[in-house]
């Protein structure tokens, strides 16, 4: 794998409920995960297709009051040149705010999403190094 600048997308939708394993955000040190006793994820359905990824979550609020937080959906780094040199279905304009057409709904109603793009320098690929060490894999705190 090549060294170089890559564009990483970290997408989050501000939703009225958050999951134990989906609660978190983007900090100065990168993507962080956190937990809360107030809300739990009771179901997750993941569909990965050739042209889209779909995830359905069911959350349970275990508290007596409304809970607000951020559900995060990180994507792997997308190199700036990927749209030109790879067979990726990316828009021709790399400056488009949402290059993956990310959407979110709650109870079937669209909600506003926040998209954070950060520049990273990828480390060279090492065949014998564990995969978790070669990706910016967030760790629950």
More confident residue, 66 or 116: 66
Tell me if 99 sits within 8 A of 90, measured CB to CB.
Answer: yes
Instruction: Give the mean model confidence (pLDDT) for residues 12-17.
Output: 36
How far is residue 12's CA from residue 132's CA, in Å, rounded to a whole number? 22
| % helix, strand, coil for the chain, step of 5 | 5, 45, 50
Query: So what's the pLDDT on residue 139?
Result: 53
Residue 91 has pLDDT above 90, yes or no: no
Query: So what's the pLDDT on residue 64?
Result: 93
More confident residue, 56 or 135: 56
Residue 21 phi/psi, 5-degree rounding, is -100, 10
Q: Which residue has the tokens 């709904």?
A: 105
pLDDT-derived band at 82, boundaries 50, 70, 90: low
Query: So what's the pLDDT on residue 13?
Result: 37
pLDDT-derived band at 81, boundaries 50, 70, 90: low
How far is residue 104's CA from residue 80's CA, in Å, rounded to a whole number? 25
């Amino acid at each position: 794998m090549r060294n170089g600048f890559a564009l990483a997308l970290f997408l989050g939708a501000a939703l009225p409920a958050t999951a134990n394993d989906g609660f978190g955000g983007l900090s100065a040190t990168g993507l962080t995960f956190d937990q809360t006793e107030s809300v739990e994820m009771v179901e997750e359905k993941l569909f990965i297709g050739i042209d889209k990824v779909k995830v359905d979550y069911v959350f349970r609020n275990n508290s007596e009051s409304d809970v607000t937080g951020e559900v995060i959906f990180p994507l792997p780094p997308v190199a700036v040149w990927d749209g030109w040199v790879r067979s990726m279905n990316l828009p021709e304009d790399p400056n488009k705010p949402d290059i993956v057409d990310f959407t979110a709904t709650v109870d079937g109603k669209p909600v506003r999403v926040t998209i954070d793009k950060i520049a990273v320098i990828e480390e060279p690929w090492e065949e014998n190094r564990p995969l978790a060490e070669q990706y910016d894999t967030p760790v629950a705190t």
